[in-house]
Structure 1
Amino acid sequence: MITLIRPALVLIVALTAITGLAYPLAVTGLAQTLLPRQAEGSLIERGGRVVGSRLIGQPFAEARYFHGRPSATTAPDPADVTKTIPVPYNAANSGGANLGPTSAALSERIKGDLETLRSDNPGSAIPVDLVTTSGSGLDPDISPEAAEFQVPRVARARGLPEPRVRALVAANTADRLLGVVGEKRVNVLELNLALDALPPG
């Protein structure tokens, strides 16, 4: 009996040591050495404090800031744990809404968003990423078209000339990876931080 149990116990201990300790420590050490900023979560610091991550969006509601994509993430309702409430960009509960084209809730939300966007910039075509959520609900980026659409509102709210705000959008537009993979994009948090850093006038 002991001859059958001993190899099983040795295997459990060995695999626990390899896969539970050695491998995670090796991968963490390699990541910290080769890609330290990414390994720490691509955090953005200003004035010695962390203000966010390049990888996770944040809700911006004020007119003076660029807004990101809608987020469908939720959290438990403090008043009733059997229900959830909307909590945009909740990194602890990444996921999409899973609402289909026949959903009344989705239709109402999109109608409300469209009305708000039309009042911000009347007569302009509304970029689709300003009314659709991403699969993760955490998307930190918007398209350059979505940022351009918001320029008049942001410029008005800050008392800045539109060309100056447009130039800031262009300066904060990232190209496709290697020039061919993905789409051009604007990181909303980085753009808003650059906007706050603009000298007055």
Structure 2
Amino acid sequence: MKQYFFPALRLTLVLVLITAGLYPLLIAGLAKVAPGGGNGVTVKRGDSVVGYANIGQKFSDNRYFQGRPSAVDYNGAGSGGSNKGPSNPDYLQTVQERIDTFLAHNPGVQKANIPAELVTASGSGLDPHLSPAAAKIQAPRIAMLRGLPASMLTALVDQHTKGPLLGLLGPATVNVLQLNLALDEMK
């Protein structure tokens, strides 16, 4: 028994030291040299923080681009999805309500043309990005409310579109916070 116990105990202590001590210190050290110093990348307007670059936030004013819905009400302290499947009646009702709200605020858009990301929450509930199509479908509403040509807003979306990583990985995206800040700067 002793022949197995002490080697197992030593191995356990070494693994605890590595996984509970060294590894967290390594990750904390890497975070300190990352953008934002491990505290997230804040977006500022003047001297005040208006949001975080990688956390979605709610824009309830129709004069702004709306981001993806959030199952956690954009609470950055705890991300998560609704955990409801596509056949769940409550989930289907929530999606239908989002579709109805979107159509009420965006007259002239057909239900079939609404990108799915505008009516379904992401897995984390904190996705700060939309596809260019999801942003552009909102341009006529914003143009009407702000008295701007829709083509100007479409060009703004194009300017803020980031292509796939390395030109290959993932879809093109638009950061909604950055887009709305640029929208406010337009004359």
Q: TM-score, normalised by structure 1?
A: 0.77
RMSD: 2.6
Corresponding residue for residue 108 of structure 2: 122
1:100 aligns with 2:85: yes
- Structure 1 residue 183 displacement after superposition: 0.5
Corresponding residue for residue 28 of structure 2: 28
Taking the aligned partners of 1:21 and 1:99, their CA distance within structure 2 comes to: 37
**Contact 1:90 1:138 (C-alpha < 8 Å) held by counterparts:** yes
Gaps of 5+ in 2: none
Q: SS of 2:158's equivalent? A: helix
- Structure 1 residue 187 displacement after superposition: 0.7
Change beyond 3 A, Cα 1:183–1:116? same
**Contact 1:70 1:133 (C-alpha < 8 Å) held by counterparts:** yes
- Structure 1 residue 16 displacement after superposition: 7.2
- Structure 1 residue 23 displacement after superposition: 4.7
**Contact 1:60 1:67 (C-alpha < 8 Å) held by counterparts:** yes
Letter in 2 for 1:31: A
Number of residue pairs the alignment of both structures matches: 179
**Contact 1:121 1:149 (C-alpha < 8 Å) held by counterparts:** no
**Contact 1:143 1:185 (C-alpha < 8 Å) held by counterparts:** yes
CA deviation profile, 1:86-106 (whole Å, cap 9, x unmatched): xx1112231111122332222
1:49 aligns with 2:48: yes
- Structure 1 residue 123 displacement after superposition: 3.9
Gaps of 5+ in 1: 74-87
- State how 1:133-148 maps to structure 2 within 5 Å: 133-148=121-136
Q: TM-score, normalised by structure 2?
A: 0.82
- State how 1:136-175 maps to structure 2 within 5 Å: 136-175=124-163
Taking the aligned partners of 1:26 and 1:113, their CA distance within structure 2 comes to: 43
Taking the aligned partners of 1:128 and 1:71, their CA distance within structure 2 comes to: 13
Identity %: 45
- Structure 1 residue 25 displacement after superposition: 4.0
1:58 aligns with 2:46: no
Over 6 Å off, 4+ runs: 14-18
More strand per residue: 1
